[in-house]
Amino acid sequence: MRSKIIRLVKPYKFEEQIRVYKKKKGWSYVKPTLGSICAADMRYYTGKRRPEALKQKLPMALLHEGIGRIVESETLKKDTRVVIVPNIPGYIHSPEKFPSPEKCCRACRHGEIGENHCENIHFLSSGYDGLTQSIIQHPDPCLIQIPDDVPDEIAVLSELSTVAYTGAKKLKLLDKNEKIAVFGDGPVGYIVAVVLSFTKTIKRHNLYVVGTDDEKLKKFGDFAHTINIRKRAIPSNLRFGNLFECVGGIYSEEAINTIIDVAEPGAWIYLLGVSELFVPVNTRDILEKGLRLIGISRSSRFEYPIILEYMREPEMQRLLKRVIINRFFRIRSAKELTEAFDFAAAHRVWGKIYVRLEIS
């Protein structure tokens, strides 16, 4: 099947190309319909990735957060709405080479690690073509049907929400009224806080969000306490047993070391923020306090049905809608995709920028 694909060939330059898919057993054809622009997509577009990464991974179609409708499938009806899970473990994309999870890698062999850490992973828009295509061929196990009462714009957030849930399900609460901190007042921090609130029923009096912008922090106010660390220090009597780092970038060092400062002995620290830089951290206090640092990267297909079930709740939908900016971009060509990415690069808006994919 022929597909029109829009690839990033170098920073700031998209090109329209044709890709021909050969039919594969157990794989369906899907028309991507709605997606959102991720910070990772922006790092490719603006050339903020390391030069060797750009050289290795481009040209490539971007976008990995999105949904679509079935065009042709052995297992799903035509026009069924599905989330397109971007994480494809080795035993699914290359069963002839890796015939089972046990023979794929340590992460797939031991379920508690999570196949999101598969050593043989194919991940859309990270070395493999993403969703800016008229048709995408995708393995059936990585297509998750969307419940009828979950709107498209909410389902698009399932990718980021499952990443948050991957961290949330590792939560270790040793005390009944243990305080939990989320560092970062951007969209990632917001969705992590919402997911903690719903999937772990963390009440407002135990959930704290630490950020640097009053306007952003206001969005958390009805379900979490907030602290603007630029205006006041975290009180000396307030310490946390579980802390989620959702800052990333050039402020990773400051965020992680502040987290170490306010962590209880034996605390769990979950790192979700991405930095292209090496980050110096206070190892002395990590050792002294016996802290556990856990990296959270991506999510597996198993988290999606769980999150989509939570997304059926009207209150969760209400909170998630806050992260969606009002302007949607219609994408039919490389020119229109460039306009969307240029807007994202030029405007530091709080929230997710959506693209309606109408490539044909």
Average pLDDT over residues 344-352: 91
CA distances from 302 to 106, 152, 170 (A): 17, 20, 15
> What does the pLDDT read at residue 10?
96
Going by pLDDT thresholds of 50, 70 and 90, the confidence category of residue 207 is very high
Residue 55 is predicted with a pLDDT of: 93
Does this model's pTM top 0.75? My answer is yes
Pick the CATH number of 162-295 from 3.90.75.20, 3.30.420.40, 3.40.50.720, 3.40.50.300: 3.40.50.720
**Strand, coil or helix: 256:** helix
Confidence bin at 215 (pLDDT 50/70/90): very high
Q: How confident is the model at residue 125 (pLDDT cuts 50, 70, 90)?
A: very high
pLDDT of residue 5: 98
pLDDT tens figures, 269-317: 999 998 888 999 999 999 999 999 999 999 999 999 999 999 999 999 9
Average pLDDT of every residue of the chain: 95
How is residue 172 written in tokens?
């270790």
pLDDT of 176 higher than 80? no
Tens of pLDDT, residues 29-61: 999 999 999 999 999 999 989 899 999 999 999
Interval 19-32 mean pLDDT: 96
What percent of the chain clears pLDDT 70, i.e. is strictly above it?
100
Q: Say what the pLDDT of residue 71 is.
A: 98
CB 137 within 8 A of CB 303: no
Return the closest-CA partner of residue 93 out of 141, 136, 160.
141
Are 24 and 137 a contacting pair, CB within 8 Å? yes
Which class does domain 2-86+124-156+324-357 fall in? alpha beta
What pLDDT does 204 receive? 95
Domains 2-86+124-156+324-357 and 162-295 agree in fold: no
What are the extents of the domains in the chain? Answer: 2-86+124-156+324-357, 162-295
pLDDT score at 111: 83
Confidence of residue 186 (pLDDT cuts 50, 70, 90): very high
Q: Which helix (H) or strand (E) holds 205?
A: none
Predicted pLDDT of residue 275: 87
Candidates 38, 31, 23, 27; CA nearest to 4 is 31
Euclidean distance between CA atoms 313 and 317, whole angstroms: 6
pLDDT interval class at 344 (50, 70, 90): very high
Contact 233, 172 (CB under 8 A): no
Helices (H), 275-352: 283-289, 303-310, 314-321, 334-346
